[in-house]
Structure 1
Amino acid sequence: MNDRKQNVIDKAHQLFIEQGFQSTSIQDILEYSGISKGTFYNYFSSKNELLMDIFRRAFRKMEQDRNAMLIGADPSDPEVFINQIEFQMTSNRENKIIPLFEEVYFSSDQELKQFIGIGQFKTLRWFTERLADLTDTSSHPFLLDAAIMLNGILLQSIRFYQKANGDSASIRPVVSYSVKRILNMLENLPVSGEQLLPPEILNDWLPTSNTEDLDWRKKSTR
């Protein structure tokens, strides 16, 4: 990616945070980044594509750094998983990705909502794969259920934990608490045999052939 395009992405990201994605026009981006309309459309087909590039760039860097935390570490150690989740969630907040996620989630833009949905499925797949590292095979039929619950517990618990302790409070206690509760639950599920969703359904939700164009890892060709 050339420096000029990177500058446009950075400037647009700043405008989206300050003004909101919907309230920021392409003309605003042109004026703030100092480029022509022709240059903009040489880089991006639309404002939506620009936002997707922001998400891709942030997630790709986070994912690489998060996965690098496994190098030389024991993947079956819950503390490593806790460290990875803490890093992922902290990175998303530091990169100011959460407000953009929330704006898209509550918008009527189906293209962007589909894109965000795929990102959520990717998170669930990663949770499922990492929980498999931490549990024995008897728990594996219940891993998607556990991943969905872990995601929900994290999001809601962090929200209220920071409301009580301030936005600057460390989220590590919440992450540690949530992971340990899910692991405790997974110890008991094989006994009850209760399953809501089979892990295999992720292959239907996230088929590579249907999501390639919206893949977080897709490299820009412009």
Structure 2
Amino acid sequence: MNDRKRKVMLTAKKLFIEKGFASTSVQDILEDAKISKGTFYNYFTSKNECLMAILEDANNESIIRRRELLVGRDKRDKDILAEQIIVRMQVNRELNLLPIYEAVFYSNDEELRNFVKTYHINELKWFAARLIDVYGEEAEPHSFDCSVMTFGMIQQLRHFWTAGTSKELDIEKLVQFTLRRMDALMADLMEQKEVLLEKQMIAPLGISHEELKGKIQVELIALKKKLEPDENSHVYTDFLLTELQAENPRVALLEAVGRSFREASNGTRFSDRVNEALYLLWKYVDIIKTSS
């Protein structure tokens, strides 16, 4: 993503929050960003697509942060799972996305509602997979039921808290409280062998690890061309490209270098491009781990 496109997205997000999505026109974005109509439509086919790009960018940020939390740590640790849930809430708060999600939720725009619905389903699938990590393979038949119930509890408890008090909600306390309830729910479901939601609703990623590796290499090569030879990011790019060319890339090294790469790029002009490459890298690593 180039700097101008990023600027358009930031401008649009600001206006969507200040004026509301429905009340913001493409012309408003053009005037505030000081760009021509041609420039806007070079990046987005519509206002809807601009909003979807904003939400997708935030989603990628959440996925990267979540995946970094697992580096060198035990995926069965429930405290890590709690941290990963909190990450999504933190990103939404940092980027002030809640007003935008609410606007989409209450809109009659089917395209946007379906887009957000897809992200919500993917979130449930992610959590279902993580529940299997924490509770073991015997939890697999019940993972999607528990995923839906967990997020339902978190959402309803947050709504009631907001409606009932002006005191700021302790998100960590909320998540830990909910996960402790999940212990009892999961144990009971496994004992009763009861399942409501179909297992096939948890669909695997529809891309091979070789295809994904190719996409990562394309991103890294494009990024490398933008970097100066003496920049630290150049070293990380070279290492990842070399490791990805190996017959059996070393997952632990990809994880460690990927995290260091992101830390080194934070605040630089290439941080967005690095995030795009690392988003694919984490998916690639997870596919390798799942298949090994």
TM-score of the pair, normalised by structure 2? 0.68
Matches of 1:207 and 1:114, distance apart in 2: 19
2:131/2:139 contact within 8 Å kept: no
Q: Residue 214 of structure 1 corresponds to which residue in structure 2?
A: none
Q: Which moved further from structure 2: 1-10 or 11-20?
A: 1-10
1:21/1:103 contact within 8 Å kept: yes
Equivalent pairs counted in the alignment come to 210
Matches of 1:13 and 1:49, distance apart in 2: 12
Q: Residue 114 of structure 2 corresponds to which residue in structure 1?
A: 114
CA RMSD of the aligned region, Å?
2.0
Q: Which is greater in Rg?
A: 2
Matches of 1:7 and 1:23, distance apart in 2: 20
Matches of 2:142 and 2:75, distance apart in 1: 19
- The unaligned stretches of length 5 or more in structure 1 are 210-216
2:61/2:91 contact within 8 Å kept: no
CA distance 1:167–1:26, shift in 2 (3 Å) = farther
Q: Residue 150 of structure 1 corresponds to which residue in structure 2?
A: 150
Matches of 1:50 and 1:208, distance apart in 2: 25
Local SS of the residue matching 1:35: coil
1:207 positional shift: 7.8
Q: Residue 184 of structure 1 corresponds to which residue in structure 2?
A: 184
2:16/2:24 contact within 8 Å kept: yes
Q: Residue 174 of structure 2 corresponds to which residue in structure 1?
A: 174
Higher relative contact order (CA 8 A, sep 6+): 1
- The unaligned stretches of length 5 or more in structure 2 are 208-274, 278-292
Query: What does 1:105-144 align with in structure 2 at a 5 Å threshold?
Result: 105-144=105-144
Matches of 2:72 and 2:276, distance apart in 1: 28
Query: What does 1:81-92 align with in structure 2 at a 5 Å threshold?
Result: 81-92=81-92
Q: Residue 54 in 1 paired to residue 37 in 2?
A: no
Runs of 4+ in 1 over 6 A off after TM superposition: none
1:161/1:174 contact within 8 Å kept: no
Matches of 2:166 and 2:120, distance apart in 1: 26
Matches of 1:67 and 1:218, distance apart in 2: 14
